[in-house]
Structures are given as C-alpha cells and as structure tokens.
C-alpha cells in the first residue's frame, strides 16, 4: 500500500473509494443489511477505517487485512458497550457456525483487552517497585504460608494506608516506618521486621487505585481499605 494514498490530503478520496470495502466488512460482522443513513455500525466502521489509515505503518502487512481487524474490533467493542448483539437470521449451518465464531471473537477480544490492561498494570507496578529495590517476585517470595499470618499482615497494611503520615514516609524514604507502625497497630517489632517487604508491597498496592487486577489477584476488594 502506497503511503501517499493514506495521507491526510488524500484521505477523503481514499475512504470514499473504499466505502464498498467498509460496508462489506461491517456486513460480514453484523450479518444484516446496513444503511449509511441509519446504522451506527457503519459510522463505527468508517471511523475505524480512518483510524486504520492513520496508524498503518508496516507496509509488509496487507493494509486491507489490517483494516478488517481494526473494523471488526471496533464493532465488537461497540456491541459490548451497547450490550447488544447483531440480529442474525440463520439460513444454513455455515452461517450459524460463523455467528458462533463471532460470539467467541467477542469473548476473545474482551480477554485480550483484559490481558493487555493486566500486563500494563503489572508493568506499572514493576516500575514502582524498582524505586524500592524490589521486584514483583518479591511478593511471592516474601509471602507467609499461613493464612492467619497473611490476614494479620493485610490488616497492618490497611492500617498503614489509612495513616497519611506513614504513606508520606514510605513515598519519601522508600522504607517502612517500623516504629510508627508498631504504635499504630500494636504489633511487635519482630513481626514487622520479619515481614517488612511483604507489608511494604501490600501497602503500595493498597494505596494505589491503578492496581485493580493485582488487588484481585490477592483477593483484596478494591474499596476495602477505605472502610
């Protein structure tokens, strides 16, 4: 695909020339006749095609194959947000199979989106941990084996999150204020010192609203620390 054809000055003409392609791609997803005047699905597809023009950069990849994926994903996202699925009339077994595959594609798209967000979250958390000379594996290595101990440490971390002075100290010093935590929670020094890394990591997770998936992994309710 010649990059000049996708350039902004040629974009309107290129899109107009490819409206049949856009329509066909949308029709193959929606499985019904569509109207440019009345159906949002075509507007979504048109915007997605324009985005494909805007972001296409690898000339080794077929542009139209790339554009189909962008349009399909945009429609899937649209249906998911609208809590709708296309109205489909099955004429034969093949069409039914295609529709089932489409339903699966929605599930796959949502799974891919969730995995992407989870990966971004872990990347963000990993970057933060580096500031404390820790890594994500530290959470696993430092985790106590007994549930009662984990629950006790989780309660300590919740208490730390509620105490602004402790969070400020941690952010500034990159350390756990052991003495202040002892006074706040009534815990003994030996317990806090032994599980210092674990308490610190839990406190970092709980004090940051951008870690919902990590909280879920630890079976921690997102709003629990605010109770």
CA nearest neighbour of 118 among 217, 224, 219 = 217
Please report the pLDDT score of residue 180 as a whole number.
Answer: 95
Tell me which residue has tokens 């959470």: 139
At residue 65, φ and ψ (nearest 5 deg) are -65, -40
Higher-pLDDT residue of 135 and 111 is: 135
d(CA 162, CA 143): 22
The tokens of 36 are what? 């440019």
Instruction: Calculate the average pLDDT of the chain.
Output: 80
- Band of the pLDDT at 111, cuts 50, 70, 90? low
**What are the structural domain ranges in the chain?**
3-89, 128-226
Q: For the stretch 198-208, what's the b/e string if a residue is b when 16 or more beta carbons lie within 10 angstroms of its beta carbon?
A: bbbbbbbbbbb
Higher-pLDDT residue of 131 and 99 is: 131
- Band of the pLDDT at 108, cuts 50, 70, 90? low
- Judged against a pLDDT cut of 60, whether residue 149 lies above it is answered with yes
- Band of the pLDDT at 217, cuts 50, 70, 90? confident
pLDDT digit string, tens, across residues 47-76: 999 988 888 876 667 888 888 989 998 898
| Full DSSP string of the chain | --HHHHSHHHHHHHHHHTHHHHHHHHHHHH-S---TTT-HHHHHHHHHHHHHHHH---TTS-HHHHHHHHHHHHHHHHHHHHT--------SHHHHHHHHHHHHHHHHHHHHHHHHHHHHHHHHHHHHHHTTT--HHHHHHT--SSHHHHHHHHHHHHHHHH-HHHHHHHHHHSS--HHHHHHHH---HHHHHHTHHHHHHHHHHHT-TT-HHHHHHTT--TTGGG-
3-89 folds as Rna Polymerase Sigma Factor; Chain: A (1.10.1740)
d(CA 60, CA 30): 29
Please report the pLDDT score of residue 100 as a whole number.
Answer: 39
Length of the chain as a residue count: 227
């Amino acid at each position: 695909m010649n990059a000049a054809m996708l350039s902004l000055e040629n974009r309107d003409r290129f899109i107009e020339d490819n409206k049949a392609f856009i329509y066909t791609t949308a029709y193959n997803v929606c499985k019904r006749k569509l109207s440019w005047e009345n159906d949002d699905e075509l507007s979504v597809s048109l915007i997605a095609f324009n985005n494909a023009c805007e972001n296409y950069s690898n000339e080794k990849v077929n542009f139209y194959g790339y554009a189909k994926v962008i349009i399909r994903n945009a429609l899937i996202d649209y249906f998911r947000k609208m809590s709708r699925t296309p109205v489909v009339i099955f004429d034969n077994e093949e069409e039914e199979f295609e529709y089932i595959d489409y339903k699966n594609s929605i599930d796959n798209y949502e799974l891919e989106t969730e995995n992407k967000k989870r990966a971004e979250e872990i990347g963000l958390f990993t970057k933060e941990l580096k500031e404390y000379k820790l890594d994500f594996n530290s959470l696993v290595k430092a985790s106590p084996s007994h549930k009662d101990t984990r629950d006790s440490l989780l309660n300590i971390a919740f208490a730390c999150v509620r105490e602004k002075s402790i969070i400020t100290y941690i952010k500034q010093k990159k350390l756990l204020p052991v003495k202040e935590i002892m006074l706040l929670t009534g815990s003994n020094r030996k317990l806090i010192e032994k599980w210092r890394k674990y308490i610190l990591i839990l406190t970092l997770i709980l004090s940051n609203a951008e870690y919902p998936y990590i909280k879920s992994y630890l079976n921690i309710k997102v709003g629990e620390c605010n109770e």
